[in-house]
Structure 1
Amino acid sequence: MLQSSSTDTITEQPGNDEIHFEKLIAPQAAPRKHEIIKFNLLTFAYGHLAALYGLYLACTVATWQTIIFHCIIYALAFFGTTAGAHRLWTHKAYKAKMPLQIILMVMNTFAFQNTIVHWVRDHRMHHKYSDTDADPHNPTRGVFYSHMGWLLVRKNEEVKKRGKFIDMSDIYSNPVLMFQKKYAIPFVGTVCFLLPTVIPMYFFGESLNTAWHVTILRYISLIHATLLINSVAHLYGTKPYDKTIKPTQNLLVSLIAFGEGFHNYHHVFPWDYRTAELGNNALNSTTWFIDFFAWLGWAYDLKTASDDLVQSRLKRTGDGNNTWGVKML
C-alpha cells in the first residue's frame, strides 16, 4: 500500500482505450538492473537510525503523555490511509461527504506516504497489474523488494509506461486532494513532523531531542506496518477465495494494519468497503471507523459483496481454507 517517494513522475495521457500493451501474466518479473535512488536510501537510513534512538528515548525519558499522543496520531494516520486513500479514494468502495473527506485527508497527511494522488495511482496500478513488473511493489521480486526495496530504486519501466493510462479523473477533480497535492511540502511538513514535535515540547515538557526522535519512531513504525500489506500479505497465508493469485489472508497483518490483511478477499472483491467478509470485523477496525461515520451520515453508499457471491467464489476458486486458516469441510 505504501507509495513510492521516487522522483520519477508519471503524466496521465488521454486515449487509454486505444493503447494495447503486451499482457503480463502473474507472477512475472523480467530481469532488470535496479537504479538506486541515493536520496531515498539516505533518508530511510537516517529515519531508521533515528527511530531506534526514538525507541530508546520512548522507553527511558519520554513522558506517558507523549507516548499516548503519538499512539493517537498513529491511529489517525492509519485510518487516513486505510479508510481514506485506500477504501474511499482508490477503490471508491463508499462515498464521503465533504467534512469526512477533509478529516481523512488531514489524517492521511499524518502518515506521509506521498500525496493521496500518488498513492491512488500506484495502488490502482497494483490491482490492475498485481504481481507483475507493472505492479509498483511487485512481490514476485521477493519480500524485501515488496516491503521496502521498491522505495529505494527507480520505478520499473512497465510502471512508468502503463501508469500514464490509469484513469485518475475522479482524483484530479477532487478539490480536497488537489489541496493536499498543491501544498504538499509545507502541509506534510507541518502536520506530520512539525506539530507532533512542537506539541509535546510545549504541553508535556519534552526536550527537542526527545520530541523529534519519538516523532520519527511513530512515522517509521507506521510505514513498516503499512508495508506488511505489500509484502507479507502477498507471500504468507491462506487463499480461500482465489488460490491462483499471490495475495493471502494473514491474520497478523490484519491485526497490525487495522483490518487490511484479508488480502486474498480484497483482491477478489476490491470494491467491498470492508475488504473482508462481515464475520471478520473483529480484526477490521477500519470497517468500524467507516461504519461509525455511516451512522453519522457522513459516509454512504457502502458497497459490499453479497454472502451468496462470496460463498460461490470461495467454493469455486478457493484453496479450501476459511479466512482464519482453518480447513473447511
Structure 2
Amino acid sequence: MELGYEVSMITIQAVLTILIGFGNILVITAYFRNEKLQTTTNWFVVQLAGADLLVALAMPLQIAMFIRDDVVQDLHVCLFRYSFPMSSINGSVLCLLAISVDRYVSVIYPYQYKSVLTAKIQVLGAVFVWVPSAFVIVSVHFLGLDDIRPGDPGKKVCDFLYVLNPDFIKYIVLPVFSALSLAIIALYSRVFHLARRHAAAIASLSEHLSVVSNSRLKNNPRQIHRKNMKISKTAAIVLGMFLFCMVPFFAVTGIQVYTDQIFSKTWMTIRMYTTVLSVLNSALNPLIYACRLEDFRGEFQKILRLKRKVNAVAPQPMRRLDNEPGRNETSSTGCENEPKHAAPVALTSKSKVAFSLTLNSGSVDKAISEV
C-alpha cells in the first residue's frame, strides 16, 4: 500500500478512536451523574454507548496493522481485531431494537409506560443485548473460522473475508443484520403512524375540553405526547445515522461473498473505506444527544465545565397593593420617619406559586400570611 494512504488511514482511525472513547464515556458518565437522565430509554442509550466503546477497544489493532502488519499475523489476534467490532454492531442493533420497543410502548401506551417497562424489564433488556453480543465473539473465533486461509500460501493475510468462513457471513451475519434492521424500521414506521393519529385525537379533544390544553396539569396529554415524540424522533435519527454508516459496509461485503469477489482488490479497497464509515457511527451518537436532548447537553456542559455560572439576580421589591385592606402609608410602629415601603421580601419558589394562585382567587390576606 502507498505511504500516503497508510498515513491518512492511521490518522483518521486514531482521531476516531479518541472521539469514540471520549464521547461515549461522556454519555455513560452523564447518565450515572444525573438522576433526571436515568430513564428507561436512556438506560438503553447507555448500553448503546457501551457497544460503541467496543469499537474503540479494537481500533489499536487496526492502526497497528498499518504500522507493522506482523502484529496481526497470529490468527486469533487477527480474529480479535474483527470479533469486537462485530460484537459492537450486534449490540448496537439490539440496543436500537430495544429503544424502538421502548418508544413504541411510550407512544401507544403513555399512561401505562412505567408499569410496563419496569426495572426488571430493563435488566432483562441488558441481558438481551449483551448475551448475544458475547456469543458473537465466541462464534467468530470458533464457528466462523475458515481453517483454509486463502490467498498467498506464503503469507498470512489478516482480512475480514480471508479469515472468516464465507458461509458464516452469507447465512448468519448478513441475514441477521438485515432482519433486525427491517424489524426496527417497521416498529418506527408503526410508532410515527400511530403518533399522527394520537396527535389528531388530542387536538380534537382539546377543542371540547379546555382542561386538556391546560399546561399546568402534570399529566397533560399534549405535553406527554410532545415529549415522547421528541425522544422518538431523536431515536429515529440515531437509527438513520446507524443505517447510513453500516449499510454500505454490509452491501459491499454482500457483493463480495455472494458474487465470489472476495479476492478483488477493487472491492477490498472500497470495503476499507466503508469500514471507516461504519466506525464513524460510533462517534456520532454523543453529538446527536448533545444537539437534540437538553438534559444530556446540560450535563455534558457540567462535566466539561463549559456551563457559565449565572450571577444571582437581586430580588426585585414587591409592588405595594394600593387596594390592600388595613395597609397605611407608614409602618405599623407609627414612626413618621420610617420608609413607607417595607424591605424587599425574598420568596421561595413554593411561596411564589402560592402567592400567584391566591392573587388570582382574590385572597390577598392569605397570600401575605403564607409569605
Question: What's the TM-score once normalised by structure 1's chain length?
Answer: 0.25
Higher relative contact order (CA 8 A, sep 6+): 1
Q: Which has the higher helix share?
A: 2
